[in-house]
Amino acid sequence: MAGQEEEGPAVKGSKKSSVPVIDPYLPGVGNFGYRASRYELELDYKVPINRLDGSVLITAVTLATLRTFSLDLCAPLRVTRVLVNGKPAKDFRARDNKVHITLAAPLPPGAAMTVAVRYTGAPRPRRTLWGEVGFEELTEGALVAGQPNGASTWFPCDDQPGAKASYRIQVSAESPYRVVSNGALVSTRARSGRTTWTYELAEPTSTYLVTLQIGMYDLVRLAKAPVPISAVLPARLRRNLAVDFSKQPQMMTLFSELFGPYPVSSGYTVVIHDESLEIPLEAQGVSIFGANHCDGTRDSERLVAHELAHQWFGNSVTARHWRDIWLHEGFACYAEWLWSEHAGGMTAAQMAQRYHRRLLEAPADILLADPGPRDMFDDRVYKRGALTLHALRVFLGDETFFALLRDWTTRYRHSTVVTDDFLGLAAKYAPSSLNGLWDAWLFSLPVPDLG
């Protein structure tokens, strides 16, 4: 397979630019011709030597006559066997961080398809415009930071946010380590110094939101109801946990009232690593923090709220294309402001005034509805997205605004969306046209008046 390289949009006139793409922000990612509905992973990971031996069974349906197809899988992972519907593939080859598979006989549109892949190697992150993403070896364990295209660093998949599936994830590692993944932990089995952990994730989930966290961790139960909340962290950080993450049950109660029922049946888990992380990371039913976010100061409380809010906005209701990332980050950022308002800090209106002033002082060169791949994680996308929602809240009034949000999370629960879906739904709640608001905040570069 090809080595790692910085990934970005295709250059006009290059060979890659002539290849059809699913998402222009990640032109080399995602695959055509089928839709996966389930992944069943069996992984054996040796922590001391960073060795992964894996197999995945993918259940899918063909969308067209299929003679060849591909899966995303990054070097240095190497495929050793491929079966399609129980029979060996005619051929499979690794190229450009993909496995290209040729069938022994074509499949018609609408055909059921199972793809069984065995693979092995020493996983590592892939280098991208946004830094290294994916599977990362730690001093004691490993973590997966999947956003936006890191799933393919540890299992073969269709690594695009618009393709959701359910998962069974079975991981074997040395017994001193705790393995955390998504969904309900349905079994653990210890044998010969190794423990096998099996998780079942029923909710349809994008590949980048599937995670694997391995470390020397304690398990702490933080709340039983209305949603089970747990923390997994090094023993040395347990004292700080009671300070930095103590408000999570109250956040869960508030967000469930404002946004609708918590969308993951297995509960919510925060993983706190023994090492520092620049930013926290979201996954389905899980959020990942660094030791620097659990330092006993409560300075990261807004980030705790932000990551919890992603369970509704981003993880359950997921942007089909990365250009619409404001539907994730703008909403999660606004949830920070709502928590501050509820907890007796600055009100959302005061936060809006603060960040409006800061946006006015920054370059106005990002279009919120299509920021471009290099800027899609820019803080201005987060803050302008939150300001857009605040402007909408002021226009609609609180009762109507939060009714809209609850309808949004219910109507598109565990689905994928585009910006027009939100605009269309909001129009049903508005007493008059919202076109001026959207034109000013989403589709124009200058920062509009806050009003």
**Residues 283 and 210 sit within 8 Å (Cβ to Cβ):** yes
Q: Does residue 110 contact residue 65 with C-beta atoms inside 8 Å?
A: no
Task: Measure the CA–CA gap between 101 and 91, rounded to whole angstroms.
Answer: 6
User: Pairing between strand 229-233 and 268-272?
Assistant: parallel
Q: How far apart are the C-alpha atoms of 347 and 110, rounded to whole Å?
A: 52
**In 3D, which of 351, 348, 244 has the Cα closest to residue 287?**
244
pLDDT (0 to 100) of residue 10? 36
Q: Where are the alpha helices (DSSP H) in 184-265?
A: 238-244, 248-259
Averages of pLDDT over runs of 10 residues in the chain (451 residues) are 33 46 95 98 98 98 97 97 98 97 97 98 96 96 97 98 98 98 98 98 98 98 94 98 97 98 98 96 98 97 98 98 98 98 98 98 97 98 98 98 98 98 98 98 97 76
For the chain, give every domain's residue range.
Answer: 15-123+149-206, 218-311, 319-441
How far is Cα 289 from Cα 307, in angstroms, rounded to an integer?
A: 9
CA proximity to 332, closest of 233, 268, 423, 409: 409
Q: Name the CATH code of domain 218-311 (choices 3.30.2010.30, 3.30.420.40, 3.30.465.10, 3.30.1540.10).
A: 3.30.2010.30
Residue with tokens 């933080």: 222
Integer CA distances (angstroms), 286 to 22, 256, 268, in order:
27, 17, 6
Distance CA 230, CA 248 (A): 10
Candidates 3.40.50.300, 3.40.50.920, 2.60.40.1730, 2.60.40.10; CATH matching 15-123+149-206: 2.60.40.1730
Provide φ and ψ at 269, rounded to 5°: -130, 135
What does the pLDDT read at residue 18? 55
Distance CA 384, CA 370 (A): 12
429/321 Cα distance (integer angstroms)? 25
Buried b (16+ CB within 10 A) or exposed e, 345-356: eeebeebbeebb
Q: Give the DSSP H/E element, type plus range, for residue 335.
A: helix 326-342
Task: For residue 82, list its beta bridge partners.
Answer: 117
| Number of Cβ within a 10 Å radius of residue 63 | 14
Measure CA of the first residue to CA of the last residue in the chain; give whole Å: 54
Residue 72: closest CA among 172, 15, 168, 148: 148
Note whether 218-311 and 319-441 share their fold: no
C-alpha dihedral sign at 181, 185, 186, 187: positive
Q: Given the DSSP bridges, would you call strands 66-72 and 78-84 parallel, antiparallel or unpaired?
A: unpaired
The CATH number of 319-441 is: 1.10.390.10
pTM recorded for the entire structure: 0.95
SS3 (DSSP) at 39 = strand
DSSP string computed for 288-316 = EE-GGG-SSS-TTHHHHHHHHHTTTBTTT
Tokens of residue 37, six digits: 């509905």
DSSP assignment string, 202-225: EEEEEGGG---EEES-EEEEEE-S
pLDDT of residue 4: 30
Residue 24, burial from CB neighbour count under 10 angstroms (0-12, 13-18, 19+): middle
The amino acid present at 18, given as its one-letter code, is S
Type and span of the H or E element at 318: strand 317-319
- Quote the pLDDT of residue 19: 64
| 422's tokens | 């939100």
d(CA 231, CA 246): 11
- Output the pLDDT for position 430: 98
CB atoms within 10 A of CB 25: 22
Residue 308 CB coordination number (10 Å): 25
Q: How do beta strands 141-145 and 286-289 pair?
A: unpaired
- What's the one-letter identity of residue 201? L
Nearest Cα neighbor of 386 from 319, 329, 310 is 329
Report how far residue 25's alpha carbon sits from residue 27's, in angstroms, rounded to the nearest whole number: 6
